[in-house]
Amino acid sequence: MRISAGKFKGLKLHTPNPQKDKKTLRPTSGRIRESMFDILTHGPLGNLIADSSVLDLFAGTGALGMEALSRGANSATFIEKNKYNFSLLERNLFKAQAIDYSRVLHADATRLPPNKGYSHDLVFLDPPYRENLIEDGIQSALNGGWLANECVLVIESGAPVPSSSHWSEQFARRYGTTYITLGVIEHY
């Protein structure tokens, strides 16, 4: 897996060994990631990446947050609870020399501690498809003060995601068995 555009373009990321780690991680495919970032850069809501503060919940290897940093985000916070994935994430950030404008937390995205830093205006949620954690991740980030008012959610899921009282859908697209949904947090 490689970063597809920007200052880290072509950077090969550390990923799980598919022979040993089949259940550990499901990285976003390069084709879907490129389409997602084209939408975030040139889509119906304008360029959402430039100068943004990114929160990558369920970060895995960090590919989504790192792609945003590569394309002009100011900073990124990565949340990952799996120890093995967390070690891959840290290795990728050091490899890209992106650690200086990144925060990395070894934590459960559905039980976030209170945020002691800045709030985020672009949030990636790519939890394990079968565990139904999207709403729990959003609620945890809201409760902990991690989200800016009217921040944009980028949700990757295995099925359509219904809006909730916390956010409204702005855009959705299906790529085979993967759904990408953009939503905006309502005032809270």
Domains, the chain: 32-185 (3.40.50.150)
Tens-place pLDDT, residues 130-141: 888 999 999 999
pLDDT at 23 over 60: no
Structural contact between residues 166 and 142, judged by C-beta atoms closer than 8 angstroms: yes
Q: How far apart are the first and last CA of the chain?
A: 37
16 or 112, which is more confident: 112
Max avg pLDDT among 18-27, 31-40, 94-103: 94-103
Question: What's the count of helices (H) and strands (E) in the chain, helices before strands?
Answer: 4, 7
